Amino acid sequence: MNRIAFAVALGIASLAAFAQQPAAPAATSGSQPKPVVVINGDVITDQKLDQLYSQMSAQMREQYEKNGGKKAFLDNYLRKRLIVQEAIKHGFDKRPDIQAELETAKEAALFQAYIREEIASSVVTEADIKNYYEQNKANFATPEAVNVRHIIIMGNGAGPRPKSQQDAATQIQRIAAELLESVANIPDPQTKSRVLLAHFIEAAKKYSEDGSSTIGGALGWVTRGGEFDSQFVDVAFSVPPGTMSAVVQTRFGYHLIFVEEKRPAGTQPYEAVRRDIREYLQSQKMSDIMQAVTKLSGELKKDSQISSFPENLH
């Protein structure tokens, strides 16, 4: 479902271009924020990360879910935040043109939020949203999935470090042996799993020969019948969470697979999809919402004290 940007046929319609993100859900009552990463003193908490992640469009979130999930998003946000910090060091936040843009964005966000939460809610009610969810649950089905990482070594002269098939097989076996050796003396299964995952991430960054290496081999949630090699997927689904597979050979090369989580098939809960349903239904009622906005702005204009100075227009 597309994110809805409410463009209103009023003189203030241009504000819409600056605020197409929805309001983030409030933090769970009583929950305490926990630091996820500290960037040169700036603390990013789990609640802040959830807020940023939820502000993306459904399509963007889906892309992240296929390519590393929140961990990949956090890596991208970290890089963005470093550039923002650099901009602040150079005084960009003090520039009049930047301050004007920030003020416009703030005004637009307030404008959008009021339309979305107050005006549009009278056109598309909570009952409408729940009714759509109940009548279309099949649209919110989630397949069985595994959250995986991998290390891939390519042979036959392919990849960034060309080598023979035999050399590729030898290297992946050596990496597997090193990883298993790193946890050989850890008796507690949970501790063993955490340590193995940490070593696996570092090994992926060091050895793996595809684009996922920069994020520790993260591939995100993998489902059956998707874009991944069927042999790779079959092995991934057979590996218990928190453990690593034996060496797997596909047409792409030799893999080691680490399964972080498994998710059974089910249905997305109402709260997880409520916002997307609301935006979809609001898109179907856009003309009604625009009429309501126009009516309200007219009433407010009538009841307000407004002074105009047309001679000052240039």
Q: Kindly tell me if the per-residue pLDDT of 236 is higher than 70.
A: yes
DSSP annotation of 68: T
Per DSSP, the residues of 251-279 read TTEEEEEEEEEEE-SEE--HHHHHHHHHH
Helix, strand, coil shares of the chain, percent, nearest 5, are 55, 15, 30
DSSP annotation of 24: P
Per DSSP, the residues of 87-123 read HHHTTGGG-HHHHHHHHHHHHHHHHHHHIIIIIHHHH
* Residues contacting residue 189 through CB under 8 Å, at least 6 positions apart: 242
Bridge partners, residue 153, by sequence: 254
Cα 77 versus chain centre, distance: 10
pLDDT tens column, 284-293: 999 999 999 9
Closest CA to 239 of 291, 183, 196: 196
CA distance 85 to 92: 10
Q: Kindly tell me if the per-residue pLDDT of 109 is higher than 50.
A: yes
- Ranking 6-15, 132-141, 232-241 by mean pLDDT, the lowest is 6-15
Which phi and psi angles does 230 have, rounded to 5°? Answer: -60, -35
Give pLDDT, residue 70. Answer: 86
Angle ∠(226,229,233) on CA atoms, nearest 5: 75
CA distance 201 to 114: 44
* Residues contacting residue 181 through CB under 8 Å, at least 6 positions apart: none
pLDDT tens column, 116-127: 889 999 999 999
Domain ranges in the chain with CATH number 3.10.50.40: 144-264
Give pLDDT, residue 29. Answer: 44
Bridge partners, residue 38, by sequence: 43
Give pLDDT, residue 183. Answer: 97
Closest CA to 223 of 212, 236, 210: 236
Q: Which carries the bigger pLDDT value, residue 34 or residue 168? A: 168
pLDDT tens column, 213-222: 999 999 989 9
CA distances to 137, 252, 312 from 268, in Å: 8, 33, 55
CA distance 154 to 156: 7
Angle ∠(41,47,50) on CA atoms, nearest 5: 110
Give pLDDT, residue 66. Answer: 76
Fold of 144-264: Chitinase A; domain 3 (3.10.50)
Cα 202 versus chain centre, distance: 23
pTM to 2 decimal places: 0.58
CA distance 210 to 159: 8
Mean per-residue pLDDT, 235-242: 97
Structure tokens at 288: 């009604």
Mean pLDDT of the chain: 88
Q: Which carries the bigger pLDDT value, residue 9 or residue 41? A: 41
pLDDT tens column, 10-37: 333 323 332 333 444 444 445 688 898 8
Q: Is the dihedral of CA 165, 170, 173, 179 positive or negative?
A: negative
Which of the listed ranges 30-34, 226-230, 262-266 does the model predict with the highest average pLDDT? 262-266
Give pLDDT, residue 286. Answer: 94
